[in-house]
Amino acid sequence: MDSTAIPHLGQSGTSSPVPQHLGQAATAACNLATNFLAPVKTERQIYENSMLEDDPNANSQCPAVNSEEQQQQQQQPRWGPNHRGAQELAGLYSRGKRIQEVICLGVCCALMSCDFLFILLRVKLDNLSTILLAAFCGVVTADFVSGLAHWTADTWGSVELPVIGKNFLRPFREHHIDPTSITRHDFVETNGDTFAVTIPVLCKLTWDFISLPEADIQRRFFWICFWYELAIFVAMTNQIHKWSHTYFGLPWYVVWLQEHRVILPRRHHRVHHVAPHETYFCITTGWLNWPLEKLQFWYLLECCIERLTGCRPRADDMKWAQKRS
């Protein structure tokens, strides 16, 4: 057999078209793999477009290319507690909001304790796997719920909206322009809203425990455990989020959970804090961030909503970010 007739992978000008197609397919597969496995945000993008919280002295600021840019950098803080927008938003945290958070935390903790006792009384060796499976489903669902709530609050609405604007959207706007402010919030301010949203679910569980016959409770035990554990993980979400912004002085067990990706890791959450804050919204474990980004889930959802309503995503977020000084 003539050696020139032996087809080579991707070689052009061979007698058979198959090897050329194979070569093109291999190149396409390589490109696809490279794009698919590429980091969502590069170190350069993180460095240039977010506030580096592991550098308290701000030594990592990007070098200015000219004197005008240098002057602008000195006069206009892009992020942090000196940002005028961040200061204005922090000032909108009211006494009424604080009272609402304290009441919600109290009610939620009481319901959580009651439901915990009701479940504990029914724990047996043969339903342990049910509880563990419900916990796994609960934590995955909580991660998705955290992403959906975070995306909604970050992307739509405005601080000027009555009731929800100042009380529920304000902390999201403040968090983007001063990410470390969460580390200065106490337990009540950090956890008030995430505990509050679980109250209806916990109320329903308590009602089921006191009103349903035991046979019905046993039949629904998986779903009872699922809703209870979902409520626990949702309630804990903002505390976990706060830990992901805390680069100094965390207890060793929190660092262990972050490093083993059981809860939202610090380096992972930095991807969300790269302007314009359009991805990595899940903040309980962060497990769903990568698959949702690869599916372009948030982007496609935003395109549909923008087309239907004409509202621009993150218009209010952008407005506050520009109130620099």
| Number of residues engaging Zn ion in binding (CB under 5 A) | 1
Residue 143 or 154: the one with the smaller Cβ distance to Zn ion is: 154
Residue 154 or 302: the one with the smaller Cβ distance to Zn ion is: 154
Residue 119 or 182: the one with the smaller Cβ distance to Zn ion is: 182
Choices 100-108, 128-136, 151-159, 201-209; region in contact with Zn ion by CB under 5 A: 151-159
Nearest approach in angstroms of CB 153 to Zn ion is: 8
Nearest approach in angstroms of CB 247 to Zn ion is: 13
Report the distance separating Cα 295 and Cα 288, nearest Å: 11
Report the distance separating Cα 296 and Cα 275, nearest Å: 17
Residue 223 or 299: the one with the smaller Cβ distance to Zn ion is: 299
Choices 86-94, 150-158, 254-262, 294-302; region in contact with Zn ion by CB under 5 A: 150-158
Nearest approach in angstroms of CB 131 to Zn ion is: 31
Nearest approach in angstroms of CB 47 to Zn ion is: 17
Interaction between residue 302 and Zn ion (CB under 5 A): no
Interaction between residue 154 and Zn ion (CB under 5 A): yes
* Residue nearest Zn ion, CB atom distance: 154
Residue 122 or 319: the one with the smaller Cβ distance to Zn ion is: 319
Report the distance separating Cα 287 and Cα 264, nearest Å: 8
Q: Provide the sign of the torsion angle of the four alpha carbons 163, 167, 173, 177, taken in this order.
A: positive
* Terminal-to-terminal C-alpha distance of the chain: 78
Interaction mask 34-63, Zn ion, x per CB under 5 A: ------------------------------
Residue 176 or 229: the one with the smaller Cβ distance to Zn ion is: 176
Nearest approach in angstroms of CB 265 to Zn ion is: 12
Report the distance separating Cα 244 and Cα 115, nearest Å: 29
Choices 21-29, 56-64, 153-161, 210-218; region in contact with Zn ion by CB under 5 A: 153-161
Choices 37-45, 48-56, 106-114, 148-156; region in contact with Zn ion by CB under 5 A: 148-156
Residue 95 has which token pair?
Answer: 């006494």
Contact 92, 323 (CB under 8 A): no
Choices 56-64, 128-136, 147-155, 258-266; region in contact with Zn ion by CB under 5 A: 147-155
Nearest approach in angstroms of CB 212 to Zn ion is: 39
Residues that bind Zn ion (CB under 5 A): 154
